[in-house]
Amino acid sequence: MAASSDLSGASERTQPAAHRRVCVLGGGCIGLSTAVLLAERLRDHYGDGSPVRTSVTIVSESFPPSTTSNVAAGLVRPFSVANAAPQQLDRWTTTTRKWLEKHMALVSGPERGIFPMFVVEGSDNEDDPPGWMRKMNAFKMLNNEEKSVLRLPSPCAWMWQTLIVESGLYLDYLKRVCVQTDVQFVEKKIESMDELAEYDLVVNCTGLASRTLFNDMSMVPVRGQIMRVRAPWIKHITIFNTGSVFTYIIPNKDMVVLGGTTQEGNWSTEVSPTDSADIWARCCEVIPSLRRATVLEETVGLRPLRKDGVRIALENVRLHDGRYLPVVHNYGHGGSGFTIHWGCAEDAVELAMPALRLPGVTAVASKL
């Protein structure tokens, strides 16, 4: 994984300006959370009376409810993240979980889409559970009798407690915070970085679009298809894998998410009737009462997997006019965007603040 705070090549932007403009590229979970944190940090450093004015604008081809993040079930659990060091993944996950728990404890927590929930997870891998799982609240191994009652078709099973981040509610909350901190929104597809030459810094949270915009061929889609159903009697999360097939039943506030598929390299965003039938059969086999559920929606999202690992790094991009534009990358989170988004936003903002060359802000050592 690349990470850098080197500002060489950006000498044209070393003098403090009266107004520093920041563009956050991408309007999903990663882009919104990074914009929120960056706007708050800038406000804390340069509030009323400061000689330096700063502004943050999110530029994106789409915003909620039309983003890949809106398709996510919102389970806080590492999933489909390539080449992440265990310590690094644990730090991102822990930071994010603490942020979410703080907001869940508020009276408005449910309105922000953050809920605690128990998970029953089965696996055909007879090795010990991953280290992060053992650190989760209420973790326990399930015995054969418990697995039988729960109808898990797995030789190993565990129970633990996690958080659910209901994507629609949570993304709407992040948008509200952006508005409160004067973040601007521009709906536009960017084809070239030259279109953003007016900005002093860009934070790239585009996910799969980084494949074309920054020629990152390690970005690949992992196609996920889900069903949302009405089944209010489902009160806990059920997850199990059989070989490479990952099945999940995840209650949200007013619906239940059934999934799914993990089809690496598949760019199709069309709902597949074959996948729908397979998802339905797998979920109903474990919880037969789901056959009484009403199907509300079927949808597809493409998880932005980066084979070289999540990229949080500073790059100076040369524009056609010869100038260099500092770009902080924050993309490639695979299926773990909601699980690690706040931890990754903190690392990205730590690179972004000194890249703006603002008075009183010094570069910090990268944690990556």
Residue 13: which residues within 8 A CB-CB, separation 6 or more?
200, 324, 326, 357
Per DSSP bridges, beta strands 19-25 and 53-60 are parallel
Contact indicator for 53, 18 with CB cutoff of 8 Å: yes
Q: Is 115 helix (H, G, I), strand (E, B) or coil?
A: strand
Predicted confidence (pLDDT) per residue in 101-137, tens digit:
999 998 888 899 999 999 999 988 766 787 778 888 8
Sheet holding 201-204, edge to edge: 184-187, 53-60, 19-25, 201-204, 324-331, 311-318
Q: Which helix (H) or strand (E) segment is 146 a member of? A: helix 144-149
Least confident of 46-50, 180-184, 199-203: 46-50
DSSP secondary structure letter of residue 131: H
Contact indicator for 52, 84 with CB cutoff of 8 Å: no
Interval 48-58 mean pLDDT? 81
pLDDT band for position 198 (50/70/90)?
Answer: very high
Can you tell me which residue has the tokens 């081809």?
61
Mean pLDDT of the chain: 90
Is it the case that residue 365 has pLDDT exceeding 60?
no
Q: Which of 196, 208, 210, 207 is nearest to 23 (CA)?
A: 196
For residues 62 and 19, the model is more confident at 62
**Which phi and psi angles does 109 have, rounded to 5°?**
-50, -50
DSSP secondary structure letter of residue 71: G
At 6 the pLDDT is 47
pLDDT band for position 82 (50/70/90)?
Answer: confident
Residue type, 166: E
At 50 the pLDDT is 65
Can you tell me which residue has the tokens 């679009």?
209
Alpha helices, DSSP H, located in 249-336 = 273-286
Beta strands in the chain (DSSP E): 19-25, 53-60, 114-123, 137-141, 156-165, 184-187, 201-204, 219-230, 237-242, 245-251, 256-259, 263-264, 294-306, 311-318, 324-331
